[in-house]
């Protein structure tokens, strides 16, 4: 049986620690990415042409980068009516969720005439990275473009590696167009991140770069961070399920495999109070793997980063979950809302037996771009906020300056900043 079952607390902690640190980019990869970014910054489009030949085996000239209007049109003929309807349903639900609680500009007026506030504005330009590779990901398009649109970003640009025949998958092109995004460049990898950060003759530089990718894309995002904003540094995906005896083994097993099938580095963890369920899930996983279309990849993930822990109590499970701070947390227990207050760190929480993570991956509404590798300790899902920024607003009246000025002078002097004090003093002069 491939899925290990662990019953000792110490062993469980050690294993969870190991799995939590499975993301290991190397210094050599970072060097390679540094070189790619430097080339893109110096040589622009020509570097993109060269890297696309090298990494994607496609011969594109800069004029070919942009997906043509006819390819955009044709894409609608190439997806099934069912898929189009599903994309539209997802678009509607994700939009509605992201429209909730968008930060709004505010000012407040103090009695002494001081006006303070925060003014929110959208970034001018956003760049969205959509991975190619193993599959087409229209859901990634929706989850990145919709928050940018809701934020009010005027120009949203997408980059995605060209497929085997040089084309972009029609489902991706349809999803983009449903979000009102038509500017799509067939460039992938670290070089695409470089293009969005520095700009080339063909591809505009942007203010914020979002979207998931492989380790090279992630390292590139880390290196350009500061010059542009980024959503987060995404590692391999992970689910942690807390289940009691009321959970069904086949459903839990499918949920674990739904994570494992993403990537050989994905992690799928079950913490359960029920040792019978633990064994049943392990058996179900083996069974469901037998005819799995991605069996090899999924087995690898389960073998390396799959784990079942039999815990003594749901409280212990919550504690272990908080230490792991999973990207996805399922509470497959009889009373999930009662367990929720014990959870401190998780990217997204799925409550109850009728809420498979897949629902949230596609169209429940919340964003599926979530903090991984323990980053849920300190960060949140991609959201409208990713594409907004606030400017503080301060407008003092003569009265308020007179009331506060002396304290500013005292503090400025304590910090040895002469002109800070002077800038106030000169205004307090009669």
Dihedral of alpha carbons 312, 314, 316, 317, sign = positive
Residue 129, annotated ligand binder? Answer: yes
* 328 has catalytic annotation: yes
Residue 73 or 415 with smaller CB distance to a copy of itself: 415
Residue 12 or 208 with smaller CB distance to a copy of itself: 208
Name the burial class of residue 264, with classes exposed (0-12), middle (13-18) and buried (19+) by CB atoms within 10 angstroms of its CB.
middle
Strand pairing category for 106-109 and 115-122: antiparallel
Given the residues 284, 328, 357, 368, select the one marked as catalytic.
Answer: 328
Residue 65 or 213 with smaller CB distance to a copy of itself: 213
Cα–Cα distance between 13 and 232 in angstroms, integer? 26
**Shortest CB 218 distance to a copy of itself, Å:** 9
What residue spans of 79-131 are helical by DSSP H?
81-98
Residue 330, annotated ligand binder? Answer: no
**Shortest CB 371 distance to a copy of itself, Å:** 8
**Shortest CB 71 distance to a copy of itself, Å:** 18
What is the H or E stretch that residue 242 is in? strand 238-243
Residue 301, annotated ligand binder? Answer: no
Contacts of 54 (CB under 8 A, 6+ apart): none
Residue 144 or 251 with smaller CB distance to a copy of itself: 251
Residue 292, annotated ligand binder? Answer: no
Cα–Cα distance between 293 and 347 in angstroms, integer? 28
* 292 has catalytic annotation: no
Given the residues 238, 284, 327, 330, select the one marked as catalytic.
Answer: 327
Cα–Cα distance between 164 and 161 in angstroms, integer? 9
Whether 110 and 400 have beta carbons less than 8 Å apart is answered as yes
**Shortest CB 247 distance to a copy of itself, Å:** 11
Residue 418, annotated ligand binder? Answer: no
Tokens of 341: 């207050």
Residue 379, annotated ligand binder? Answer: no
Q: What are phi and psi of 82, to 5 degrees?
A: -65, -45
Q: What is the 3-state secondary structure (H, E, C) of 381-403?
A: CCCHHHHEEEEEEEECCHHHHHH
**Shortest CB 192 distance to a copy of itself, Å:** 18
Residue 62 or 117 with smaller CB distance to a copy of itself: 117
Tokens of 83: 């898929």
Cα–Cα distance between 256 and 291 in angstroms, integer? 16
Residue 214, annotated ligand binder? Answer: yes
- Numbered residues of the known binding site for NAD(+): 129, 191, 214
Q: Which residues are annotated as a binding site for substrate?
A: 237, 259, 262, 328, 361, 415, 420
Please give the positions annotated as active site. 327-328
């Amino acid at each position: 049986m491939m899925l290990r079952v662990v019953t000792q607390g110490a062993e469980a902690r050690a294993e969870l620690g190991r799995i939590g640190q499975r993301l290991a980019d190397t210094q050599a990869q970072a060097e390679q990415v540094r070189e790619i970014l430097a080339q893109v910054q110096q040589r622009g489009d020509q570097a993109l042409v060269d890297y696309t030949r090298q990494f994607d085996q496609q011969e594109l000239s800069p004029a070919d980068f942009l997906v043509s209007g006819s390819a955009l049109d044709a894409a609608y003929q190439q997806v099934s009516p069912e898929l189009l309807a599903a994309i539209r349903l997802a678009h509607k639900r994700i939009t509605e969720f992201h429209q909730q609680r968008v930060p709004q500009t505010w000012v407040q007026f103090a009695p002494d005439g001081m006006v303070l506030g925060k003014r929110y504005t959208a970034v001018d330009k956003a760049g969205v990275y959509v991975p190619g590779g193993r599959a087409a990901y229209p859901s990634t398009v929706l989850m990145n473009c919709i928050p940018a649109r809701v934020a009010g970003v005027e120009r949203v640009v997408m980059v995605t590696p060209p497929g085997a025949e040089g084309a972009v998958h029609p489902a991706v092109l349809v999803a983009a167009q449903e979000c009102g995004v038509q500017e799509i460049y067939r460039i992938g990898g670290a070089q695409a991140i470089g293009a969005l950060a520095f700009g080339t003759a063909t591809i505009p530089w942007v203010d914020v770069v979002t979207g998931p990718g492989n380790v090279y894309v992630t390292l590139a995002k880390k290196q350009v961070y500061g010059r542009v904003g980024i959503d987060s540094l995404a590692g391999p995906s992970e689910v942690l399920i807390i289940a009691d005896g009321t959970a069904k083994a086949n459903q839990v097993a499918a949920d674990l495999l739904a994570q494992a099938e993403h990537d050989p580095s994905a992690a799928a963890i079950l913490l359960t109070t029920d040792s019978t369920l633990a064994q049943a899930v392990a058996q179900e996983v083996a069974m469901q793997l037998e005819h799995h279309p991605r069996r090899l990849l999924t087995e690898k993930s389960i073998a390396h980063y799959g784990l079942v822990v039999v815990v003594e109590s749901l409280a212990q499970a919550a504690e272990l979950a908080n230490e792991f701070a999973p990207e996805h947390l399922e509470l497959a227990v009889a009373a999930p809302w009662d367990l929720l207050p014990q959870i401190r760190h998780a990217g997204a929480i799925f409550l109850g037996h009728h809420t498979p993570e897949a629902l949230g991956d596609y169209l429940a509404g919340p964003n599926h771009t979530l903090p991984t590798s323990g980053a849920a300790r300190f960060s949140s899902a991609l959201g409208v906020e990713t594409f907004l920024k606030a400017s503080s607003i301060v407008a003092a009246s003569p009265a308020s300056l007179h009331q506060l000025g002396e304290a500013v002078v005292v503090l400025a002097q304590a910090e040895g900043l002469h002109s800070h004090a002077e800038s106030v003093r000169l205004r307090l002069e009669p």
